[in-house]
Amino acid sequence: MKLSERQEEIIRLVKKGQPVTSEALAEKLGVTRAALRADLAILTMIGVLDARPKVGYVYLGEAQNTRILENISRVLAGEIMSKPVTVTEETTVYDAIVFLFLNDVGTLFIENNGILVGAVSRKDFLKNAIGGTDIHKVPVGVIMTRMPNIVCGSTEDSAYDLAKKIIEHEIDSIPIVEKIGDGLNERPQFKIVGKISKTNITKLFVKLGEGN
């Protein structure tokens, strides 16, 4: 798998001035640290860079594990996605929290009449509980992140691209959706058909690693 221009530039900067912190790299490249998060994770994963706590990134040499990344780039979301856990907007925050832990997931997706309308994570529940929200009375629709502000994917997206999105946006999982209607006369709507989570990606990496 070919590295991106930015990943190649990151390698050049680290080789030139190692150790280099993520803050310094972001400043040199004119981007935010969040924008670099996925690139640094990938370069570390394939053995080009090493992240040393309180020191920065150092160059280790040519990539050692590119075969795994090449394979993951060929795997499509539809092949590894799992079943999403959903509730409706009217579900109380308390019931949603119970449902989340019973299903051992990090994110609940909110749908109305089969249409994805929002998502709520453990972080959202914690933030609102600390803020004094009456979790027994307030519906989850009040605290959820609403469409179209949700990072989504399709069954044809590669696992590699979705893994990058999870890292870049610091989220637990991505809903896999299908578009409903042509969306010409109104805002497009989406039906959730699956999800890709950190667990899906981790299991895929383990499987590919065992096969290489």
70 occurs within a structural domain: no
| CATH number, position 58 | 1.10.10.10
- The amino acid that residue 106 corresponds to is G
Residue-wise pLDDT for 129-157, tens only, equals: 887 778 999 999 999 999 989 999 999 99
Higher pLDDT, 79 or 202: 79
User: Sign of dihedral through CA atoms 122, 128, 132, 137?
Assistant: negative
Say if residue 47 is in the same domain as residue 112.
Answer: no
84 occurs within a structural domain: yes
Boundary of a domain, candidates 33, 64, 95: 64
User: What confidence score (pLDDT) does residue 57 get?
Assistant: 96
Say if residue 182 is in the same domain as residue 89.
Answer: yes
- The amino acid that residue 80 corresponds to is I
82 occurs within a structural domain: yes
Count: domains in the chain: 2
72 occurs within a structural domain: no
Say if residue 81 is in the same domain as residue 56.
Answer: no
User: What confidence score (pLDDT) does residue 212 get?
Assistant: 53
134 occurs within a structural domain: yes
Say if residue 147 is in the same domain as residue 47.
Answer: no
User: What confidence score (pLDDT) does residue 187 get?
Assistant: 75
Domain with 101, as residue range(s), is 77-208
User: What confidence score (pLDDT) does residue 1 get?
Assistant: 59
Quick check: 64 pLDDT over 70? no
Higher pLDDT, 183 or 18: 18
Residue-wise pLDDT for 163-191, tens only, equals: 889 988 889 999 999 998 765 556 789 99
Question: Percentage of residues in the chain with pLDDT exceeding 70?
Answer: 92
Residue-wise pLDDT for 42-57, tens only, equals: 888 778 899 999 899 9
- Predicted TM-score (pTM) of this structure: 0.76
| CATH number, position 126 | 3.10.580.10
Say if residue 190 is in the same domain as residue 114.
Answer: yes
Cα(191)–Cα(195) distance, integer angstroms:
12
Boundary of a domain, candidates 21, 43, 64: 64
DSSP for the chain, please give it: -PPPHHHHHHHHHHHHH-SB-HHHHHHHHTS-HHHHHHHHHHHHHTTSEEEETTTEEEE--S-S-HHHHHHHTT-BHHHH-BPPPEE-TTSBHHHHHHHHHHTT-SEEEEEETTEEEEEEEHHHHHHHHHTT--TTTSBHHHHSEETTSS--B-TTSBHHHHHHHHHHHT-SEEEEEEEES--SSS--EEEEEEEEEHHHHHHHHHHHHHT-
Say if residue 47 is in the same domain as residue 120.
Answer: no
Say if residue 81 is in the same domain as residue 186.
Answer: yes
Say if residue 105 is in the same domain as residue 193.
Answer: yes
Residues 77 and 158 sit within 8 Å (Cβ to Cβ): yes
